[in-house]
A and B are shown apart, each in its own frame.
Chain A
Amino acid sequence: MKLKLPNPGLDNRIPSHEDLERMEKEEAGDRPKWDNKAQYLLTCVGFCVGLGNVWRFPYLCQSHGGGAFMIPFLILLVLEGIPLLHLEFAIGQRLRKGSMGVWRSINPYLTGVGIASLLVSFFVGVYYNTIMAWIMWYLYNSFQDPLPWSQCPLNANRTGVVEECARSSSVDYFWYRETLNTSTAIDEAGGLQWWMVLALLSAWTLLYVCCIRGIETTGKAVYITSTLPYLVLTIFLIRGLTLKGSVEGIKFLFTPDVSTVVTHQPTLVSIINTITQDAVLISIINGCTSVYSATVIYSIIGFRATQKYDDCTADNILKLINAYNYPENSITESNYNEVLIYLNQTTPDIIQGLQLQTCDLQAYLSQGVEGTGLAFIVFTEAIIKMPVSPLWAVLFFVMLFCLGLSTMFGSIEGVVVPLQDLKLLPQTWPKEVFCGLTCVISFTLGLIFTLRSGNYWLALFDNFAGSIPLLVIGFCEMIAVIYVYGIDRFNKDIEFMIGHKPNIFWQVTWRFVSPLIMVIILVFYFVTQVTKSLTYLVWDEEAANFPTLEPRPFPSWIYVIIFILAGVPSLAIPVVALFKFVQRKCCKQKDYSDDTVDTISVKIQMNDKKF
């Protein structure tokens, strides 16, 4: 389809192929750049491979059918993720500009796309670095033996442990009480928690020191931040496989269950979010990393589940032999069931009084294993059961830290570079100041997450700031490049850059398949989100199901916040377009740059052909 939207003056805004060749020779030394190809690749890999690979993908994989989940994942990776990033990389190379400049060059009305991605990068950066602050808090606390989350603290008169801790577990207590000091609702703000503020400060200053000079400094940092996670994952894999029960976990992960492969929207959106930034090599790396880390995570989860199962069974056996005064080791795991049945028949009332728990390995394997729950509750519990726990804790949190930091580099660049391009602030300010300003403002906004209700705010940001706007932006980018810039011109550009025209796969995906899929997902997501009432999970001691988190509906003013998070970036695109349109209409007489030179020699053609 040769659909092409009218786009006057495009040639004036973009460098031509001859200009590109000239710039290549002249300006090669001036642009800030990576020292070598390795740095460039590691930076891209670092940005794409993040915390989601470690804690979102394994959960999605397991809860949506195990091995069968790979099918929709791969389909979307190939039809959506790879085309989108290839497009982004190519257009960036072609126009030799950052995000803001690219869209402004394609068409000034599209500046909104650059602004939208600036806002999204900003919001995502603010909450993502709070997760980094949590990781750093746990890392700081890992340098002691015994680890602080391995024991419950004693209550006031030292006769037992604190009640909240006894009812849940020491890891839960350390996360919800000693780290977050969480309140029971999002409206109960509580005060700023000073230890969290310190952790957040350390996260932002560390990020600043790495980003201070842009890719000059981040390019060095990525050697460590992009390679260390793989090393640590391998160490954990070897450690995990030597532990009892790890194979159970891996089997549980990959057991395909096609009935649960439901294409319901949150899954797809999560996939889109994790792979929106991928190109061919990098998406392969990303996919492989996800699968590898899922294997490692689930081997450790299998170990933890087996430990809990063993503890539960041992507990039941102890209750039985204490009640009936049987000698020790008379009841073991093998004859436990028969003995229980026999005793239940003969003396049911005593059995009732004992309150034996049902020990279910499958239940332990599927316990709360996503996101912060995975890292700070499940995994930390597994770590305290391993010998030499502080070492494993330090390794694990350093890995998470590196994964998150490399993603934050991309986020910060996604804010600082367009900010410089926007020319709102004086151009003479050095990059260090832009970077510092971004960090300071983000830190101030991030103080919300250090309140007692901070965890709930973060879940809100996580759900809304990074989902809808990204879909909208991705869709607009595709439409902009293919239909506003023109697929024909784009094909010629790629031919110029790499030597041959992109093949039929790219043509089909760019023109029809990818935009179509995105529209479908957007519509479905919108419909499902709008129809259901939004709830969030709270940690409430007085709740009936404590220690399970209880769902609670949002207060009504939250919808305003949600609109700001998701709506403002998405609406920035049409609003800025409208603004530019109005600006052009009313200030047309002052706009010389578009009109050609207004002189007689242009208007009256000196006709050489006559002579």
Chain B
Amino acid sequence: MLEKILVLLCLPSALAQHLCTPGASDGYKVRLSIKTALGDQAYVWNENEMFLFRATLAFAMRTHFNGQMYNVSNIVVCDETPRVSFWFVVTSPLDTSTLVDRKDVEEAVRKSRNRINSAFLLTDKTLEFIGIAPTLAAPVYPDPPPWLIVFGVVMGAVGAGIIILLVTSVLQKKRKKNEKSEGEDDEEDTRVKTVENGTASDGVYNMSFSDDERFTKM
């Protein structure tokens, strides 16, 4: 009686095991690169880690199919290699001899990818599900683009510089003109004064003939 119960208990898992084969149509290959990701702090892959993996995957299936009670036993693993890679298939909780469809498994994994990765301290690149492409994070394009801001700052500074330089040169020229005309005014004043003074005396000395010698040369 007891043996019969034991056989009955072992039968499902034994039956399920044959469903998992490398290259199974409803299965996926998983590859872990622990040493690449963690270096010195890498943990060793053993039975316990495998148990965690199966549990995490069961969690992912439960999250995706709300209500269906997936268990660790529903995740069947085979073909483990020293690389740390293996194949897995997921059996339905209602009927352990049928496999959950590939697409459903993919969706479930995609949904909880982040949680699965963080359970193992890995990333999309180091915990690979061969055939399930990770959805890439949308790049953040700040609006307005940063280069336009820097451009605006530079152009503003340059524009201000040009205006300042042009204005100062115009002002300088005006100042020079004013000085010159002031100087001329002073000269005119003095000249006028000499004329005024000169009316009392002989008159203004006419310079235009002063270069002539008194006696022309032969």
A217, B165: Cβ atoms closer than 8 Å: yes
Binds A, one of B50-58, B60-68, B78-86, B197-205: B78-86
A154, B136: Cβ atoms closer than 8 Å: yes
Residues of A within 8 A of B173 (CB): 430
Interface flag for A496 (CB, 8 Å): no
Residues of B within 8 A of A159 (CB): 133, 136
Residues of B within 8 A of A202 (CB): 151, 154-155, 158
Interface flag for B146 (CB, 8 Å): yes
Interface flag for B139 (CB, 8 Å): yes
A151, B162: Cβ atoms closer than 8 Å: no
B60–chain A nearest beta-carbon distance, Å? 21
Q: Which residue of B lies closest to A155 (CB)?
A: B136
B139, A154: Cβ atoms closer than 8 Å: yes
Interface flag for B34 (CB, 8 Å): yes
How far is it, in angstroms, between the C-alpha of A360 and the C-alpha of B169 when the chains are bound? 61
Interface flag for A153 (CB, 8 Å): yes
B139, A326: Cβ atoms closer than 8 Å: no
Interface flag for B159 (CB, 8 Å): yes
A321, B83: Cβ atoms closer than 8 Å: yes
Q: Mark A320-335, 1 if CB is under 8 A from B, else 0.
A: 0110011111000000
A465–chain B nearest beta-carbon distance, Å? 27
Interface flag for B135 (CB, 8 Å): yes
Best-buried of A141, A213, A325, A327 by chain B (most CB within 10 Å): A325
Known: A159-B133, A213-B169. A328 touches B34 (CB 8 A): yes
B36, A328: Cβ atoms closer than 8 Å: yes
A143, B158: Cβ atoms closer than 8 Å: no
How far is it, in angstroms, between the C-alpha of A212 and the C-alpha of B135 when the chains are bound? 54
Interface flag for B14 (CB, 8 Å): no
Residues of B within 8 A of A328 (CB): 33-36, 83-84
How far is it, in angstroms, between the C-alpha of A159 and the C-alpha of B136 when the chains are bound? 7
Known: A202-B155, A209-B165, A322-B83. A143 touches B150 (CB 8 A): yes
B81–chain A nearest beta-carbon distance, Å? 4
Interface flag for A205 (CB, 8 Å): yes
A209, B162: Cβ atoms closer than 8 Å: yes
Which residues of B167-204 are within 8 A (CB) of A?
169, 173
B150, A206: Cβ atoms closer than 8 Å: no
How far is it, in angstroms, between the C-alpha of A432 and the C-alpha of B173 when the chains are bound? 13
A443–chain B nearest beta-carbon distance, Å? 14
B158, A206: Cβ atoms closer than 8 Å: yes
Interface flag for B31 (CB, 8 Å): yes
Known: A325-B81, A326-B82, A326-B83. A198 touches B151 (CB 8 A): yes
Which residues of A142-165 are within 8 A (CB) of B?
143-144, 151, 153-154, 158-160
Q: Which residue of A lies closest to B160 (CB)?
A: A209
How far is it, in angstroms, between the C-alpha of A255 and the C-alpha of B102 when the chains are bound? 59
Residues of A within 8 A of B155 (CB): 201-202, 205
Residues of A within 8 A of B84 (CB): 327-328
How far is it, in angstroms, between the C-alpha of A206 and the C-alpha of B134 when the chains are bound? 47
How far is it, in angstroms, between the C-alpha of A328 and the C-alpha of B35 when the chains are bound? 7
Residues of B within 8 A of A325 (CB): 81-83, 85
How far is it, in angstroms, between the C-alpha of A314 and the C-alpha of B83 when the chains are bound? 16
Interface flag for B166 (CB, 8 Å): yes
Residues of A within 8 A of B139 (CB): 151, 153-154
How far is it, in angstroms, between the C-alpha of A208 and the C-alpha of B169 when the chains are bound? 15
Interface flag for B147 (CB, 8 Å): yes
Interface flag for B161 (CB, 8 Å): yes
How far is it, in angstroms, between the C-alpha of A345 and the C-alpha of B179 when the chains are bound? 97
Within the complex, which residue of B82, B136, B150, B169 is in contact with A158, where a contact is CB–CB below 8 Å?
A: B136
A11–chain B nearest beta-carbon distance, Å? 28
B158, A209: Cβ atoms closer than 8 Å: yes
Interface flag for A376 (CB, 8 Å): no
Interface flag for A140 (CB, 8 Å): yes
How far is it, in angstroms, between the C-alpha of A329 and the C-alpha of B81 when the chains are bound? 14
How far is it, in angstroms, between the C-alpha of A321 and the C-alpha of B151 when the chains are bound? 49
Q: Which residue of B lies closest to A330 (CB)?
A: B82
Interface flag for A449 (CB, 8 Å): no
Within the complex, which residue of A136, A209, A213, A327 is in contact with B83, where a contact is CB–CB below 8 Å?
A: A327
Residues of A within 8 A of B151 (CB): 140, 198-199, 202
Q: Mark A92-110, 1 if CB is under 8 A from B, else 0.
A: 0000000000000000000
How far is it, in angstroms, between the C-alpha of A136 and the C-alpha of B151 when the chains are bound? 9
B16–chain A nearest beta-carbon distance, Å? 24
Interface flag for B5 (CB, 8 Å): no
Interface flag for A47 (CB, 8 Å): no
B34–chain A nearest beta-carbon distance, Å? 7
A137, B147: Cβ atoms closer than 8 Å: yes
A329, B146: Cβ atoms closer than 8 Å: no
Known: A140-B150, A202-B155, A432-B169. A158 touches B81 (CB 8 A): no
Known: A328-B33, A328-B35. A143 touches B146 (CB 8 A): yes
How far is it, in angstroms, between the C-alpha of A160 and the C-alpha of B33 when the chains are bound? 22
Known: A325-B85, A326-B82. A212 touches B166 (CB 8 A): yes
A432, B166: Cβ atoms closer than 8 Å: yes
Q: Which residue of A lies closest to B31 (CB)?
A: A322
A311–chain B nearest beta-carbon distance, Å? 13
Residues of A within 8 A of B146 (CB): 140-141, 143-144
How far is it, in angstroms, between the C-alpha of A186 and the C-alpha of B85 when the chains are bound? 52
Interface flag for B138 (CB, 8 Å): yes
Q: Which residue of A lies closest to B82 (CB)?
A: A327
How far is it, in angstroms, between the C-alpha of A153 and the C-alpha of B140 when the chains are bound? 11
What residues of chain B have their CB less than 8 Å away from a CB belonging to chain A?
A: 31, 33-36, 81-85, 133, 135-136, 138-139, 146-148, 150-151, 154-155, 158-159, 161-162, 165-166, 169, 173
Question: What are 10 of the A-B contact pairs (CB < 8 Å)?
Answer: A136-B154, A140-B146, A154-B136, A158-B138, A201-B155, A205-B159, A209-B162, A325-B81, A328-B35, A432-B165
What residues of chain A have their CB less than 8 Å away from a CB belonging to chain B?
A: 136-137, 139-141, 143-144, 151, 153-154, 158-160, 195, 198-199, 201-202, 205-206, 208-209, 212-213, 217, 321-322, 325-329, 430, 432
Shortest 6 CB-CB distances between A and B: which pairs? A325-B81, A140-B147, A325-B83, A328-B35, A327-B82, A140-B150
